[in-house]
């Protein structure tokens, strides 16, 4: 892949370039700056949360696992609410979390570069980043913190159907336009149940369709007698800070460094156990009037004159719209801002990059944070709570070459065309 630079201008260089300005990118930048490392951050702040989550959503993570990490632990949710003069809510609304993220960015990364990175390629001693306006940036290290957009999973049965009929949960913004419409929600996890609740509350006729049945996270009725007894005796002391995965695996998930050292097969098992589809119990009351069809396999799917026909148990059901709450499957091959030859050099396991202890891929200086790191560090990296651990580790990597002189040939190298 040749990165076009016409006309060529390279006035910028840095030790570390962070691509992405969500919780992981912002946390990494805050830690790198505190360590005195020259870092530039590119992207729209909190863009995935602002533009690709449904209006009215509540944040699933517990309060203490929703702070965006900064090295002094000063830019917390508590401080944001205090400065804003707001009372902390029982359940954190999406809109307030986005405002908190923007507040964090204003304090930690006030010089955020909102330009889009359209290409990243490796050159001698580092990387060349092409921006949408034609400018080029040279960096020793690059941190990919671009999140899940572009990695959504869409079952093959729905391929080819238009967005106005079949849409993914990342495309579910306002629910009001679906008032009076018959909507099938495909899935059984938090996203499926909350999207169904929001659509139902907006006046849509909703049905939840899934291969399995809805499993309620931390449902006391599903615990064994021993676990219920331990819970009653020890109370909150049994609950890990992030509450990712079932007890007692949830405590292992709090130690991604330990998970990194496990055999890959065991690490995969921990991920499968902890990231299976579940819904939080506070949604149960909101969807109790919504029909739920578990144990269903969708057969043929086709467009009708005014909607979509789903074949369920041999019978055709008509819906005006279908919402795919079918999750995400990160793949390095979908990180298209990386030059093809660079992607090919990244060692992968089931589409995820293989990362060392400092989140560095098989390409020296190229790091991946967030959901991309789940295969190497476990399920905590899928949630906001994992950002602090990741930020500390990549800062350690960058600090190793902090005092090395910037190569004299750097600006010439990034000017070369392949």
d(CA 135, CA 195): 40
d(CA 18, CA 26): 9
d(CA 135, CA 14): 14
Q: Which of 265, 2, 254 is nearest to 121 (CA)?
A: 2
Q: How large a percentage of the chain has pLDDT more than 70?
A: 88
Within 13 Å, how many C-alpha atoms sit on residue 264's CB side? 10
Q: Which CATH class is domain 156-215+277-324?
A: alpha beta
- Structure tokens given for 264: 């890959």
- pLDDT tops 70 at residue 409: no
Edge-first strand order for the sheet with 315-319 is: 298-304, 307-312, 315-319
Identify the band that residue 410 occupies on the pLDDT scale cut at 50, 70 and 90: very low
* 3-state secondary structure (DSSP) of residue 103: helix
Identify the band that residue 236 occupies on the pLDDT scale cut at 50, 70 and 90: low
d(CA 116, CA 101): 19
Within 13 Å, how many C-alpha atoms sit on residue 289's CB side? 9
* pLDDT tens profile 286-339: 999 999 999 999 999 999 989 999 999 888 999 999 999 999 999 999 999 999
* pLDDT tens profile 23-77: 999 999 999 999 999 999 999 999 999 999 999 999 999 999 999 999 999 999 9
Q: Which CATH architecture has domain 12-151+328-415?
A: 3-Layer(bba) Sandwich (3.50)
- pLDDT tops 90 at residue 2: no
For 19-28, 50-59, 100-109, 220-229, which range has the lowest pLDDT when averaged over its residues? 220-229
pTM attached to this predicted model? 0.89
Identify the band that residue 223 occupies on the pLDDT scale cut at 50, 70 and 90: very low
For 103-107, 137-141, 313-317, which range has the lowest pLDDT when averaged over its residues? 313-317
Cis peptide before 74 (omega within 30 of 0): no
Stretch(es) of the chain classified as CATH 3.50.50.60: 12-151+328-415, 156-215+277-324
Q: Which pLDDT score, from 0 to 100, does residue 260 have?
A: 97
Identify the band that residue 416 occupies on the pLDDT scale cut at 50, 70 and 90: very low
Distances 343 to 117, 149, 363 between C-alpha atoms, Å: 16, 18, 9
For 7-16, 122-131, 192-201, which range has the lowest pLDDT when averaged over its residues? 7-16
Computed over every residue of the chain, the mean pLDDT equals 90
Q: Which pLDDT score, from 0 to 100, does residue 314 have?
A: 80
Distance of CA 62 to the CA centre of its chain: 16
Identify the band that residue 218 occupies on the pLDDT scale cut at 50, 70 and 90: low
* 3-state secondary structure (DSSP) of residue 288: coil
- Structure tokens given for 306: 């005014």
Within 13 Å, how many C-alpha atoms sit on residue 123's CB side? 24
Give the helix/strand (H/E) hosting 177: none
d(CA 375, CA 135): 34
Mean pLDDT of 259-276: 95
Identify the band that residue 125 occupies on the pLDDT scale cut at 50, 70 and 90: confident
- pLDDT tops 80 at residue 406: no
């Amino acid at each position: 892949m040749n990165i076009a630079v016409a006309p060529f201008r390279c006035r910028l260089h840095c030790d570390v370039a962070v691509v992405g300005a969500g919780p992981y990118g912002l946390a990494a930048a805050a830690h790198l700056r505190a360590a005195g490392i020259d870092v530039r951050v590119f992207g729209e702040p909190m863009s995935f949360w602002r533009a690709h989550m449904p209006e009215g959503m509540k944040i699933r993570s517990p309060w203490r696992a929703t702070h965006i990490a900064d090295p002094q632990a000063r830019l917390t949710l508590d401080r944001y609410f205090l400065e804003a003069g707001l009372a902390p809510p029982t359940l954190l609304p999406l809109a307030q979390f986005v405002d908190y993220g923007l507040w964090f960015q204003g304090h930690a990364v006030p010089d955020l570069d909102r330009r889009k990175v359209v290409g990243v390629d490796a050159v001698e001693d580092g990387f060349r980043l092409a921006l949408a306006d034609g400018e080029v940036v040279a960096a020793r290290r690059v941190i990919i913190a671009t999140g899940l957009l572009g990695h959504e999973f869409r079952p093959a049965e729905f391929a080819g159907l238009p967005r106005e009929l079949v849409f993914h949960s990342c495309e579910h913004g306002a629910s009001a336009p679906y008032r009076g419409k018959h909507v099938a929600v495909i899935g059984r996890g938090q996203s499926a149940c909350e999207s169904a609740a929001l659509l139902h509350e907006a006046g849509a006729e909703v049905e939840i369709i899934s291969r399995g049945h809805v499993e309620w996270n931390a449902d006391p009725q599903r615990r064994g007698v021993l676990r219920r007894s331990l819970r009653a005796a020890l109370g909150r002391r049994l609950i890990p800070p992030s509450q990712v995965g079932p007890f007692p695996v949830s405590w292992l998930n709090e130690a991604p460094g330990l998970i990194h050292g496990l055999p890959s097969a065991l690490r995969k098992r921990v991920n499968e156990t902890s990231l299976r589809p579940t819904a939080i119990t506070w949604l149960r009351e909101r969807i109790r009037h919504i029909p739920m069809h578990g144990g269903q396999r969708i057969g043929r799917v086709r467009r009708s004159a005014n909607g979509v026909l789903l074949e369920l148990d041999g019978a055709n059901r008509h819906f005006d719209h279908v919402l795919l709450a079918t999750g995400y499957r990160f793949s390095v091959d979908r990180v298209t801002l990386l030059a093809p030859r660079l992607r090919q050099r990244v060692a992968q396991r089931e589409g995820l990059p293989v990362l060392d202890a400092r989140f560095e891929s098989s390409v020296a200086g190229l790091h991946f944070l967030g959901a991309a790191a789940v295969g190497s560090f476990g399920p905590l990296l899928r949630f906001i709570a994992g950002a602090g651990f990741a930020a500390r580790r990549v800062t350690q990597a960058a600090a190793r070459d902090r005092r090395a002189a910037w190569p004299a040939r750097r600006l010439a190298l990034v000017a070369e065309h392949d």
